[in-house]
Amino acid sequence: MPDTPKSYGLKSITTSAQPRELITPTPRLKNAWTAQIITLFPEAFPGTLGESLTGKALHDGLWTYETIPLRDFGDGRHRNVDDTPAGGGAGMVLRADVVGRAIEAAQTSLPIIYLSPRGTPFTQAMAQTWASGPGITLLCGRFEGVDQRVLDHYDIQEVSLGDFVLTGGEIAAQAMIDATVRLLPGVLGNAESTAEESHSNGLLEHPQYTRPAKWMGHEIPEVLTSGNHAKVTEWRRQMSEKLTAKIRPDLWAKYLKNK
Ligand code: SAH
């Protein structure tokens, strides 16, 4: 079968004649936390995950990722992946058979999540749970989403990045992988930085300051330059509580209830 360039907007995508050869059957690093990503846009990865701390951790083998290009499992000469919604209406739906074949090519040992605005909202607690496991498979939707039968058949959990609609699951997948990977041992320089930050203890983080000591006439709160560690800790706790109560009354109520 010849490689047929297919046009998507301004970009041109070349389909592959031997799709399965593109997929590594096992992750490149056996013991590293692994993200498998089923996507129409494999070139979107690692994206920002290749930068800074997550990028260094990727390079150092603390985690790894593998893309499963949905197009490779498409139907026919044009490797079609989508079709019009049953019952009519706008947009296109990712076909059950195509998505099913991609899922079958993924490692079954990892839990599978469909990125979806309908899903359970993603939280720090979820990132912690995922970080404590071997990895995760993320199914990125496009267009109007995926055929419901795939989600039902594989009993796929739906997770949302928030109450808004993106054009695809890739940005949501990157956000969730980022939040998870930074919790893996060795990824952040200072292990304490995850214990103290927003959402790890049910509170938002206190304000942070650094040099210069005076900027545009504004000074750093005196307590932070006092050298009194007990006072600094107490000030930070108070600020954390004050900010949470003001900005996120929902989190504050939960915090008080759990205390
Ligand atoms: N018709 C769907 C939206 C489709 S948006 C609906 O109304 O529910 C296209 C794709 O983008 C989805 O399949 C999903 O994978 C992704 N997506 C959109 N918003 C998202 C969000 N808030 N969180 C996670 N993924 C999202």
Give the CATH number for residue 210: 1.10.1270.20
CA separation, residue 219 to residues 222, 223, 227 (Å)? 8, 11, 16
In a domain, 196, yes or no: no
- In this structure, are 36 and 115 located in the same domain? yes
pLDDT per position as a tens digit, 44-58: 999 999 999 999 999
Residue type at position 106: A
pLDDT per position as a tens digit, 142-201: 999 999 999 999 999 999 999 999 999 999 999 999 999 999 999 998 766 788 889 989
- In this structure, are 216 and 145 located in the same domain? no
Stronger pLDDT, 10 or 213, i.e. the higher one: 213
**Helix axis angle, 170-181 relative to 124-131, nearest 10°?**
70
25: confidence class by pLDDT, cuts 50, 70, 90: very low
- Res 216: pLDDT: 98
Domain count, the chain: 2
In a domain, 194, yes or no: no
Distance in angstroms (rounded) separating the CA atoms of residues 234 and 224:
11
Cα of 146 vs centre of ligand 1, distance in Å, is: 10
pLDDT over 60 at 206, yes or no:
yes
- In this structure, are 47 and 155 located in the same domain? yes
- In this structure, are 160 and 222 located in the same domain? no
CB 81 within 8 A of CB 75: yes
Cα of 172 vs centre of ligand 1, distance in Å, is: 9
- Mean pLDDT, the chain, integer: 91
Residue type at position 162: G
In a domain, 209, yes or no: yes
Mean pLDDT on 73-86: 97
Give 155: exposed, middle or buried? Use CB within 10 Å, 0-12, 13-18, 19+: exposed
Q: Which two tokens mark 246?
A: 């003001």
Considering 148, 181, 214, which residue would you say is the last residue of a domain? 181
Distance in angstroms (rounded) separating the CA atoms of residues 57 and 259:
35
29: confidence class by pLDDT, cuts 50, 70, 90: low
- Res 28: pLDDT: 52
- In this structure, are 139 and 241 located in the same domain? no
Q: Which residues contact 36 (CB under 8 A, 6 or more apart)?
A: 27, 65, 66, 67, 68, 106, 107, 110, 135, 136, 137, 138
- In this structure, are 129 and 254 located in the same domain? no
**Ligand 1 closest atom vs CA 114:** 15
**Ligand 1 closest atom vs CA 139:** 15
pTM (global) more than 0.85: yes
- CB crowding 53-63: b at 16 or more within 10 Å, else e: ebeebbeeebb
Tokens 């054009």 correspond to: 167
Q: Which two tokens mark 144?
A: 């109007």
Mean pLDDT on 240-249: 98
CA separation, residue 154 to residues 61, 104, 122, 133 (Å)? 30, 10, 20, 20
Helix ranges, 106-228 (H): 124-131, 148-153, 170-181, 192-196
Residues near ligand 1 (Cβ within 6 A): 115-118, 140-142, 144-145, 160-162, 164-169, 172
- In this structure, are 144 and 93 located in the same domain? yes
Cα of 224 vs centre of ligand 1, distance in Å, is: 44
Greatest distance between any 2 Cα atoms in the chain: 73
State residue 22 phi and psi, 5-degree precision: -80, -15
- In this structure, are 234 and 141 located in the same domain? no
Considering 181, 214, 247, which residue would you say is the last residue of a domain? 181
Cα of 166 vs centre of ligand 1, distance in Å, is: 6
In a domain, 136, yes or no: yes
pLDDT over 80 at 111, yes or no:
yes
DSSP letters of 152-183? HHTTPEEEESSSS--SBSHHHHHHHHHHHHTT
pLDDT over 50 at 108, yes or no:
yes
CB 150 within 8 A of CB 103: yes
- Res 2: pLDDT: 42
Tell me if residue 217 falls in helix, strand or coil: coil
Considering 181, 214, 239, which residue would you say is the last residue of a domain? 181
In a domain, 80, yes or no: yes
pLDDT over 50 at 9, yes or no:
no
Q: Which two tokens mark 255?
A: 């915090």
Mean pLDDT on 24-52: 86
Q: Which two tokens mark 232?
A: 């600094």
Q: In which domain, by residue range, is 238 found?
A: 201-258
